[in-house]
Amino acid sequence: MAAAEQVARAGCIACELSSGVRPLPGGRLYESSGLVVEHCVGPLGVGTLVVKPLRHVVHVADLDEAESAALGPLLRRTAAAVTEVVRPEQVYVCLWSHMDRKPGHIHFVVQPITKADMARFAAAGPELQLAMFRAGESPGEAAVNAICARLRPLLAEQS
Ligand SMILES: [Zn+2]
């Protein structure tokens, strides 16, 4: 990999959040093998996390061997943590990473979905995510900090 790929890419929100250029509510929750877990800054609800490479990688096919090997276990670990804290009916794990129709820094969204979420927006699946984006309610910083304080030890203690 080129050394330039390992530094934060100017203008990339994902890079700016993980490098500290932008404030990251809840702080970094976990880091291993070039991957990090953070709370989602978008309007997808309190407890929705993001798993992404620290490097500015814009295609899954460009992940290196270490990142690839760590990805599956970390997605499972992250889903298990949100399951324990939120007690959702399902956990969505998805990757869109298309900002303004251009490939962006890949980030897997790990989103716990409760019956209350589905009832409130009268939707499930991609329609539910679309409804949440249309509502545009970013999670409050206090709520994010509180849930991250519960998630961080769960992410750390699993092995
Ligand atoms: Zn980036």
Ligand 1 centroid to residue 132 C-alpha, Å: 24
- Residue spans per domain, the chain: 3-157
Ligand 1 centroid to residue 10 C-alpha, Å: 8
Ligand 1 centroid to residue 58 C-alpha, Å: 8
**DSSP-derived pairing of the beta strands 102-103 and 108-113:** unpaired
- In 3D space, the residue among 46, 123, 145 whose CA is nearest the CA of residue 86 turns out to be 46
- What CA–CA distance (Å, rounded) separates 84 from 87? 6
Task: Quote the radius of gyration of the chain (alpha carbons, Å).
Answer: 15
Q: Of the CATH numbers 1.10.260.30, 3.40.50.300, 3.40.50.880, 3.30.428.10, which one belongs to the domain with range 3-157?
A: 3.30.428.10
> Does the model's pTM come out above 0.95?
no
Dump pLDDT digits (tens) for 67-121: 999 999 999 999 999 999 999 999 999 999 998 999 999 999 999 999 999 999 9
Ligand 1 centroid to residue 31 C-alpha, Å: 16
